[in-house]
């Protein structure tokens, strides 16, 4: 074979490989595929609707525009979904977890039934990271100053259930303020706690400040309640309408108590996280993280989310979500104190 013919043959073979490689890279991994989002909630609730507000935008930014569907796996405060994602789901980039902060909290508190490791999941981000809770008391209770509120004995706090956010927030308030013989009445639905407060069945409750501004405007307009203090997540993220209220941090007098608040704040700040099973290939994880960043920044997503949720999205990007989870205190003493406050037993002495 002449040198010229040999050179032409080499060029021809090289061209085949180059064009084949280009053809391969032009077909996105996710084209024609279906991504399943394993949700830790039942179908049709507000959590489901908020997730569906994100799906079109996530699909928009994933190269190949895959179909995105939900698989509902409620149970055990996200433990069922978490165990499935950690132990059973294929780590192929086609399964995403769409869970709540309970998945993180149950793991850190070593709750029974947890079979997953939060440090081994791959985090994609969360559409919610900012929360504000206010403690309110009924007007007839006459607690029109923080001093009166703090000194009131046997105050009855209403909440949905043991372990619910509104329950934990009231327990944190009573503990940090060293309140005398505080009572905690549970078993209500969300709006039912409001009714119980107005009827005098309970004296106080914790409520999301955004909910008050949306659902309970008469409390403000008619002066039906006294606002006592506020817990903001993250720390320093004030809500203008309640910025003058004292904060929980004003009563945290030790490093241990500040760590206690930081644990709760992190639980809430992770919001409704999206994550991938351990072992998901880096290439697919990177594609999904990039798509999530773009989706969470899309103005259309923010508009749709507000329509469904009634409040603004406050996205937490992949790196920030992972940092929050990894940075959770593993201090056994503080975790044990948080478990006692979040549980059904009598509050520990301060």
Taking only the tens place, the pLDDT of each residue in 53-106 is 999 999 999 999 999 999 999 888 899 999 999 999 999 999 999 999 989 999
Which pLDDT score is estimated for 4?
59
Task: Return the percentage of the chain with pLDDT > 70, whole number.
Answer: 93
Tens digit of pLDDT for each residue in 200-211? 999 999 998 988
For the domain covering 131-267+334-342, report its CATH number.
3.40.190.10
Q: What is the CA radius of gyration of the chain?
A: 25
Which pLDDT score is estimated for 26?
76
Between residues 7 and 162, which one has the greater pLDDT? Answer: 162
User: ∠90-92-93 over CA atoms, to 5°?
Assistant: 115
Q: Could you tell me which of 10, 346, 58 has the C-alpha nearest to residue 183?
A: 346
Is the pLDDT confidence value at 176 over 50?
yes
Which pLDDT score is estimated for 19?
45
Is the pLDDT confidence value at 18 over 70?
no
Distance between CA atoms of residues 276 and 91, nearest Å = 7
Which pLDDT score is estimated for 161?
85
* pLDDT band of 25, cuts 50, 70, 90: low
* pLDDT band of 48, cuts 50, 70, 90: confident
**Which residue spans of the chain are classified as CATH 3.40.190.10?**
131-267+334-342
Is the pLDDT confidence value at 309 over 90?
no
Whole-number average pLDDT of the chain: 91
Distance between CA atoms of residues 219 and 328, nearest Å = 36
Tens digit of pLDDT for each residue in 240-274? 999 999 999 999 999 999 999 999 999 999 999 99
Secondary structure (H, E, C), the chain: CCHHHHHHHHHHHHHHHHHHHHHHHCCCCCCCCEEEEEECCCCCCHHHHHHHHHHHHHHHHCCCCCEEEEEECCCCCCHHHHHHHHHCCCCCCCEEEECCCHHHHHHHCCCCCCCCCCCCCEEEEECCCCEEEEEEEEHHHCCCCHHHHHHCCCCEEECCCCCCHHHHHHHHHHHHCCCCCCEEECCCCHHHHHHHHHHCCCCEEEEEHHHHHHHCHHHHHCCCEEEEEEEEECCCCCCHHHCCCCEHHHHCCCHHHHHHHHHHHHHHHCCCCEEECCCCCHHHHHHHHHHHHHHHHCHHHHHHHHHHHCCCCCCECHHHHHHHHHCCCCCHHHHHHHHHHHCCCCCCCC
Is the pLDDT confidence value at 168 over 70?
yes
Distance between CA atoms of residues 127 and 334, nearest Å = 28
User: Which whole number is the average pLDDT over 278-289?
Assistant: 98
Between residues 11 and 342, which one has the greater pLDDT? Answer: 342
Q: Which residues touch 330 (CB under 8 Å, ≥6 apart)?
A: 108
**Which residue spans of the chain are classified as CATH 3.40.190.150?**
34-128+270-316
Is the pLDDT confidence value at 190 over 90?
no
Which pLDDT score is estimated for 214?
82
Distance between CA atoms of residues 42 and 302, nearest Å = 23
CB 27 within 8 A of CB 260: no
User: Which whole number is the average pLDDT over 324-334?
Assistant: 92
Which pLDDT score is estimated for 12?
53
Is the pLDDT confidence value at 299 over 90?
yes
Partners of 135 in the beta sheet?
Answer: 206, 229
The pTM of the full predicted model, rounded to 2 decimals, is: 0.80
User: Which whole number is the average pLDDT over 206-227?
Assistant: 92
Is the pLDDT confidence value at 287 over 60?
yes
Which pLDDT score is estimated for 215?
86
CB 325 within 8 A of CB 268: no
Is the pLDDT confidence value at 41 over 90?
no
* pLDDT band of 5, cuts 50, 70, 90: low
Superfamily covering domain 34-128+270-316: Bordetella uptake gene, domain 1 (3.40.190.150)
């Amino acid at each position: 074979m002449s040198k010229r013919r040999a050179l032409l043959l080499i060029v021809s073979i090289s061209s085949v490989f180059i064009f084949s490689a280009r053809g391969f890279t032009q077909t996105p991994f996710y084209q024609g595929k279906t991504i399943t989002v394993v949700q830790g909630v039942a179908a049709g609730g507000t959590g489901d609707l908020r997730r569906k507000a994100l799906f079109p935008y996530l699909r928009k930014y994933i190269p190949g525009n895959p179909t995105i569907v939900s698989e509902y796996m409620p149970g055990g405060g996200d433990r069922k979904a978490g165990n499935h994602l950690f132990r059973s789901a294929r780590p192929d980039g086609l399964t995403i977890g769409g869970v709540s902060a309970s998945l993180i909290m149950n793991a850190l508190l070593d709750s029974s039934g947890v079979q997953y490791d939060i440090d081994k999941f791959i985090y994609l981000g969360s559409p919610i990271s900012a929360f504000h809770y206010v403690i309110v008391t009924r007007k007839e209770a006459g607690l029109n100053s923080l001093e009166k509120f703090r000194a009131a004995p046997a105050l009855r706090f209403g909440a949905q259930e043991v372990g619910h956010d509104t329950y934990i927030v009231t327990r944190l308030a009573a503990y940090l303020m060293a309140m005398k013989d505080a009572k905690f009445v549970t078993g209500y639905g969300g709006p039912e706690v409001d009714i119980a407060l107005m009827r005098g069945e309970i004296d106080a409750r914790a409520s999301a400040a955004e909910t008050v501004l949306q659902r309970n405007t008469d409390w403000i307009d008619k002066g039906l309640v006294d606002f006592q203090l506020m817990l903001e997540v993250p720390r320093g993220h004030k809500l203008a309408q309640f910025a003058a209220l004292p904060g929980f941090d004003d009563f945290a007098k030790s490093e241990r108590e500040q760590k206690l608040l930081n644990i709760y704040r992190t639980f809430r700040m992770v919001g409704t996280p999206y994550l991938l099973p351990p072992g998901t290939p880096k290439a697919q994880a990177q594609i999904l993280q990039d798509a999530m960043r773009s989706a969470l920044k899309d103005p259309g997503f923010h508009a749709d989310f507000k329509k469904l949720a009634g409040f603004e999205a406050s996205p937490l990007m992949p790196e920030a979500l992972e940092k929050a989870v990894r940075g959770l205190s593993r201090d056994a003493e503080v975790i044990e104190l948080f478990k006692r406050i979040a549980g059904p037993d009598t509050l520990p002495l301060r």
